Amino acid sequence: MAQVDPAVTRRKFENALGQLAAQRPILDARGIFLVGTPTYPSIELVFVPRRPLQFAVPITQSGSIFLPPGTSAIGTAGLPNLAARAFKAHFELSDFDLRAPSLQFRDPWTDELLDYNTMFRAFEYEKHRQVHLVLLGDHPTERRPFLCLRGIREYHEHPQHSGDDWLQYRNDISFFSIVMSVWRACIDLPQPTLIQQSTGVVQVQWSAEEKS
Amino acid sequence: MPQREHEDHETLIFIINGQDYAVPTDFNAPLKVAVQRALQVSGNTGRPADEWEVRDIKGVLLDAQRTPRELRLHNRARVFLSLQVGAGGFGPG
C-alpha cells in the first residue's frame, strides 16, 4: 500500500527522469543508458563496463632471466577487446522519496535477476576502510543480491542499518547521485582478472582499484 | 577591470544532484571556498561542507584544500559535488 500521495511521488519520479535527461552526456560517457520508456515507478538503466579484462598468466621466464626451479610468478596482461558483462539496473521508485529507490540487478537480454554466483562484484574504497565489498549475496528480507550502499533502499531497510535512515539523506542525495554511486561501485572500481589454475580451470577474480 | 582580477574570478560548473550551478570562483583560493558557495546557491546547507566531496568529470576525487589552478581545472570546468558515499559491506573496517 502506497505511503505517499501518488501525485507527489509521481512528480518526484518525473524529476528524477529530468535529472537523467539533463545530464545525459555524462551518463553516455560512462556507459549508462536509459532503456525503453520509463513507466512509474520503474526506471531501467543498462551499465556497460569498458575496463579491459586482465588475464593472469604464470611466468617462468622474464626476458633472459629464468626464475629458479620451483618458483613461479604471475604476470597480467590486458585484453582490450574484452570487458565484464553489461547489466541492467532496475530501479523502483515507489513511495519515492519517503523511501529510497530499490535496486535489482537483471540480465539486459532476459530481464532475469542475476545470480550472485556468476555476476560481477561491486566495491567501495575509502581511505580509512580501504577496499570493501558492497555487493552482497542475500538480503535478509528480499532474498536476492543487493548493493549495500547509502541511497539504496535495500541498504537503508536492512536490519543492520536501521540507524542510518534514508530520511537523513533524501534532501542531499538525488536519484542522479545514486546512479553515479552505482557506476562507481559496479563499473569504475572493479577490476576482473581471469586466472588459470594449475588444474586448467579458469576463474574470474574481482578486485578493486584503490581510488578515492 | 584589472587583468589580475579578471583572471582570478572565473567560473566552475558544479553538478549537484543532477543540476548545474555556475559558481563564480577564485581560481587562486582553495576549492572549498567555491564548494561552500555552491552549497549555498543550491540550497544544500543542511550538512557541513566537509561531508561533501568534489570529483572531476572523470570521477576522480579532488582535494578541496587545493586551488582550482593547482588542480588544473579550467574556466567553466564541470565538477560533481555530492554527499560522501556511506557503505556497509565487507572488508577492512
Q: Does residue B89 fall inside a structural domain?
A: no
Q: Does residue B93 fall inside a structural domain?
A: no
Q: Does residue B88 fall inside a structural domain?
A: no
C-alpha cell at A166: 534514508
Alpha carbon A203 to chain centroid, angstroms? 20
**Which residues in chain B have their CB less than 8 angstroms from residue A175's CB?**
18
* A:172-191 residues touching chain B, CB 8 A cutoff: 172-177, 180-181, 183-185, 188
**Which residues in chain A have their CB less than 8 angstroms from residue B61's CB?**
211-212
DSSP labels, B45-64? -SS-GGGEEEE-TTS-EE-T
> Rounded to 5, what percent of chain B is helix, strand, coil?
25, 35, 45
**Which residues in chain B have their CB less than 8 angstroms from residue A180's CB?**
59, 80, 82
Edge-to-edge strand ranges of the sheet holding A42-47: A32-34, A42-47, A87-92, A102-106
Q: Does residue B65 fall inside a structural domain?
A: yes
Total domain count, chain B: 1
Model confidence pLDDT, tens digit, residues A78-135: 888 889 999 999 999 999 999 999 999 999 999 999 999 999 999 999 888 899 999 9
- Whether the complex's predicted ipTM is more than 0.90 is answered with no
Domain assignment of residue B69, given as a range = 3-83
Measured between CB atoms, which of A123, A172, A211 is closest to B46? A172
When pLDDT is cut at 50, 70 and 90, the band that residue B93 belongs to is very low
Which CATH number belongs to the domain containing residue B31 in this structure? Answer: 3.10.20.90
Model confidence pLDDT, tens digit, residues A42-73: 999 999 999 999 988 776 666 666 666 666 66
Across chain A, mean pLDDT equals 91
